[in-house]
Amino acid sequence: MKKITLSILVLFCVTMLQAQTAREEFVLEKNWKFSKGDYPDAVQNNFDDKSWQSVTVPHDWAIYGPFDRKHDLQEVAVTQNGETKATIKTGRTGGLPYVGIGWYRNTFTVNHFKKGEKRVSLLFDGAMSESKVYVNGKEACFWPLGYNSFHCDVTDFLNTDGKDNILAVRLENKPQSSRWYPGAGLYRNVHIIVTDEVHVPVWGTHITTPFVSEEYASVKLRTEIENSDNNEIRIVTEILDADNKVVATKDNTLKINHGKPFEQNFIVNNPNLWSPETPYLYKAVSNVYIKDKKVDQYTTRFGIRDIKLIADKGFFLNGKKRKFQGVCNHHDLGPLGAAINVAALRRQLTMLKDMGCDAIRTAHNMPAPELVELCDEMGFMMMIEPFDEWDIAKCKNGYHRFFNEWAEKDMVNMIRNYRNNASVVMWSIGNEVPTQCSPEGYKVASFLQDICHREDPSRPVTCGMDQVTCVLNNGFAAMLDVPGFNYRVHRYEEAYNKLPQNLVLGAETSSTVSSRGIYKFPVEKKANAIYDDHQSSSYDFEYCDWSNLPDDDFALADDHDWTMGQFVWTGFDYLGEPSPYDTDAWPNHSSMFGIIDLASIPKDRYYLYRSIWNKNDNTLHILPHWNWKGREGQITPVFVYTNYPSAELFINGKSYGKQTKNNSSLQSRYRLMWMDTVYEPGEVKVIAYDAQGKAVEEEIIRTAGKPHHIELVADRTELSADGKDLAYINVRVVDKDGNLCPDDQRLIKFAVTGEGIYRASANGDPTSLDMFHLPQMPAFNGQLTSIVQSNEKEGELIFEATAKGLKSSKITIKAIK
Ligand code: GAL
């Protein structure tokens, strides 16, 4: 194993460094060794790991497959879905081999390390799961929950004088421990933090903005200092704006008494307030001195913003009422699995932003820090949630095994990690926990809510509740800051009237199901619709029996002041939970709830949300596609998702009349629908009219001819040559005129040359068992997505796609330093 040298600095530099920064942080990414299986001897320094696989971290050991129904075959009754009898469930966790034990090993050196002078901590952003961390043969920390960040001080286990330290991590995923694909392994970053003895501990600052106005804001910073031994501490903190201009400074000297944090208060005049539309960020840079020696420098990024709840009126940000236009997302990144990647997250958020989405609920667990930072920067409000299970089980080997001992520690880590992030506006303490119906359940909720209030009095607390009758009657809902309901839209009004908060949040909404590019006839609203091809219809009329269509949630937001908006289940399709095909319906293994599919291609529903949520751009989207060989002469309804109030539809020049949004049904309030259109090949044209009746925009789709060539559209033309950056390439089978061939399912092969690598592909088909990392994938309804990654060299990356019977295509992407 190659040795990692953390900081090679000549003595002079070290002296300078101590004078300047006194803190160093490194991410341990490269030269990891990994093996599945249990190797108790791997903790020993002399263990031979040569035969183990070399990997970089973040790493997800299960995403390379293969898919197999036996990986997560379960006989269970999913009580949350109203089931009372156990049945065979397949694909619940994605059918990937995440279960089992895996070991990782690496070496690190802390130069010039001397006991008594430096402290060294390891910080894991998340490790799936039940992590046992060993340094030089000694157990340094244990953390059961795979989603949470945790840290441990390993100073006492380190070798002195620059000798290699062996880090070994054992992870174990028990069968039946999850309701979705959790990923496996060191799927988030591992940091090494080197500080002086006297230092700001991990997550040791807490910033709040107790008063916010356009004229000025007050900023309160609390800083913890470790090992100060009751010495006098001087902290000089500068508040910097986004241009790094100092806007406030404080220089204070204090004793840290009885562990009480060091407090500094600032006024920032004419503050730039943070909001999804103006994600303005400040930094507090604190230099810590003890007897004139600088011992630490710590930077805390934050935003200035004000959040308020007003009974009967809803949620206010910076004094302005707004309703959450949010989505719930699981943590996996489709074909990349759970391994965190900033470019992949940025891509997701960019698509959601264009849809008009302004909020994310991290369902049902702690997010990666990179996601929270991107939400700060790109402008998304976050509701962060730790648990899907408290003390009562949903999964046989779920978190309930740890809840009593670990819940408080998990909450504390989560809150301290993210309490300074501007994007985080609310905590959720859990999702559909069975405890909500137990007579003592409110006590558990109150225990968790109190931890939130203690650690962070500035944010309200909610919980995703689905057992409406229980929680309205047993006091559970009444004790939360915000009653958050999952589905059950017909109970909102009752909840509003019965509960003292006089507010209702759609903590989880919709769960409409659809497969991109699939349309079923006749077009009917249906719960639990099942078809032989194991797909769901993209007319967006199908849902599960506990869920509903998007229109119900739009109406609740539009019609009542007291609704706080919603978090749609889900923004993106995810691995696992293939409802309505979860009962012995292999090969389904990924969700169909997403507004965007697993290949990160928008489904039609994307445009429905965009037409309501995106207030800056127009939307005019026609569905279905118009290649219906065999349906000639048959009724083939056409829907248009648009922000315009009305539109006229023409098929091959013949008008099918003008439709205007109206209140005759929830669907006709938000969609334009021509239910009697008859299929004939050719052209479907729609002309949109504004509120004044003026024709303002038109859109055309055409019947595609014979598949002719491959079209490649990359989301990026330039990548950073950092070995991590990604481009998503939309691979499309088109006819000679460039029309998408929407029923083409042929195999496409890929090759990457030049500076970069092929990373993965996905086609969004929830039944596809093709492995993501292999350089081939069948198109699903004419499309798929390939992901390429930069290496660390500048140059050109060339991606080529070929398929039998089609003209191939190439695309060049630049990688720059
Ligand atoms: C909810 C649950 C989610 C997901 C969803 C599917 O009840 O909170 O995790 O299972 O249903 O509709």
Q: What are the tens digits of pLDDT across the range 576-595?
A: 999 999 998 999 999 999 99
Q: Which residue has the CA at smallest separation from atom 6 of ligand 1?
A: 511
**Ligand 1 mean position, distance from CA 597 (Å):** 17
Looking at 627-694, which runs of residues are DSSP E strands?
Answer: 638-642, 646-651, 654-660, 672-674, 683-689
Strand partners, 330: none
Nearby residues of 401 by Cβ (< 8 Å), 6 or more positions away: 144
Q: Which atom of ligand 1 is nearest to the CA of 431?
A: 8
Ligand 1 mean position to 804 CA, how many Å? 41
Residue (of 45, 416, 5, 366) closest to 187 by Cα position:
366
Whether the CB of 395 sits within 6 Å of ligand 1: no
Instruction: Output the CATH code of domain 307-511+546-574.
Output: 3.20.20.80
How far is ligand 1, taken at its centre, from the CA of residue 399, in Å? 17
The answer to whether 7 and 177 have CB atoms below 8 angstroms apart is no
Q: Is 362 in the pocket of ligand 1 (CB under 6 A)?
A: no
d(CA 379, CA 374): 8
Q: What single-letter amino acid sits at 87?
A: T
- How confident is the model at residue 18, as a pLDDT? 40
Q: Is the beta carbon of 80 within 6 A of some atom in ligand 1?
A: yes
Q: Are the beta carbons of 305 and 322 closer than 8 angstroms?
A: no
Number of the ligand 1 atom closest to the C-alpha atom of 432: 8
Atom of ligand 1 nearest to the CA of 511: 12
Burial class (CB in 10 A: 0-12, 13-18, 19+), 91: buried
Residue type, 569: W
CA torsion, ordered 761, 765, 770, 771, to nearest 10 deg? 50
Cα–Cα distance, 603 to 285 (Å, whole number): 44
Looking at the chain, the domain(s) classified CATH 2.60.40.10 span 205-302, 709-816
Which of ligand 1's atoms lies nearest the C-alpha of 80?
7
- State residue 305's pLDDT score: 98
- Show the tokens assigned to 606: 């994307």
**Residue-wise DSSP of 496-557:** HHHSTT--EEEEEEE-B---TT---SS---EES---TTS---TTS-EE-TT---HHHHHHHH
Q: Which atom of ligand 1 is nearest to the CA of 547?
A: 12
What is the amino acid identity at position 780? Answer: F
pLDDT value at residue 185: 98
Name residue 514's amino acid. Answer: S
Q: Is 577 in the pocket of ligand 1 (CB under 6 A)?
A: yes
Query: DSSP 3-state assignment of 760?
Result: strand
330, 331, 394, 432, best to mutate for ligand 1 pocket (most atoms within 8 Å of CB): 432
Cα torsion through 235, 240, 245, 250, rounded to 10 = -30
Q: How far does residue 148's CA lie from ligand 1's centre (Å)?
A: 21
Nearest CA to ligand 1 atom 10: 577
The pLDDT score that the predictor gives to residue 666 is 96
From 46, 49, 6, select the one nearest 28 (Cα to Cα).
6
Residues forming the active site:
432, 508
| Cβ of 389 less than 6 Å from ligand 1 | no
Which segments of the chain belong to CATH 3.20.20.80?
307-511+546-574
The low-confidence residues of the chain, meaning pLDDT below 70, are 1-21, 161
- Burial status of residue 436 (CB atoms within 10 A of its CB: 0-12, 13-18, 19 or more): buried
Q: What is the Å distance from ligand 1's center to 668 Cα?
A: 27
Q: Rounded to the nearest whole angstrom, what is the distance from the C-alpha of residue 448 to the centroid of ligand 1?
A: 21
- 55 pairs with which residues across the strands? 32
Count the Cβ atoms, other than its own, within 10 Å of residue 729: 23
Output the CA 511–ligand 1 centroid distance in Å.
8
Q: Whose CA is nearest to atom 7 of ligand 1?
A: 80
Contact 439, 460 (CB under 8 A): no
Whether 731 contacts 748, CB under 8 Å: yes
d(CA 766, ligand 1 centre) in Å: 17
Residue 255: per-residue pLDDT: 84
3-state secondary structure of 189: coil
Averaged pLDDT score across all residues of the chain? 95
Spatial distance between the Cα atoms of 213 and 272, rounded to a whole number of angstroms:
10
**How many residues are present in the chain?**
817
Q: Is the CB of 486 under 6 A from ligand 1?
A: yes
Residue 291 CB-density burial (10 A; 0-12 exposed, 13-18 middle, 19+ buried): exposed
Domain 709-816 coded CATH 2.40.50.140: no
Q: Is the CB of 573 under 6 A from ligand 1?
A: no
Q: Tell me if 569 CB under 6 Å of ligand 1.
A: yes
547 CB near ligand 1 (under 6 Å): yes
Q: How far is the CA of 679 from the centre of ligand 1 (A)?
A: 37
Q: Which atom of ligand 1 is found nearest the CA of 591?
A: 6
Question: Burial level of 672, CB count in 10 A (0-12/13-18/19+)?
Answer: buried
Contact 639, 611 (CB under 8 A): no
CB distance 483 to 504 below 8 Å: yes
pLDDT at 21: 56
DSSP element (H, E) containing 361: strand 359-362
- Residue 431 Cβ < 6 Å to ligand 1: yes
Distance CA 812, CA 522 (A): 44
- The one-character DSSP state at 40 is G
Q: Where does 205-302 sit in CATH, by number?
A: 2.60.40.10
For ligand 1, pick from 508, 543, 566, 588 the residue to mutate: most ligand atoms within 8 Å of CB: 508
User: Angle at the Cα of 673 (from 672 to 675), degrees rounded to 5?
Assistant: 170
Q: Is the CB of 385 under 6 A from ligand 1?
A: no
Cβ neighbour number for residue 736 with a 10 Å cutoff: 12
Q: Is the CB of 348 under 6 A from ligand 1?
A: no
Percentages helix, strand, coil for the chain, rounded to the nearest 5? Answer: 15, 35, 45
Question: How far apart are the C-alpha atoms of 423 and 324, rounded to whole Å?
Answer: 13
Residue 667 Cβ contacting ligand 1 at under 6 Å: no
Q: Which string of b and e fits 170-197 if b means at least 16 CB within 10 Å?
A: bbbbbbbbbbbbbbbbbbbbbbbbbbbb
Q: Which residues, other chains included, contact 196 with Cβ-Cβ below 8 Å and sequence gap of 6+?
A: 18, 22, 23, 117, 118, 119, 295, 296
Cβ-based burial of 407 (10 A; exposed 0-12, middle 13-18, buried ≥19): buried
Residues 637, 640, 643: CA angle, nearest 5 degrees = 160
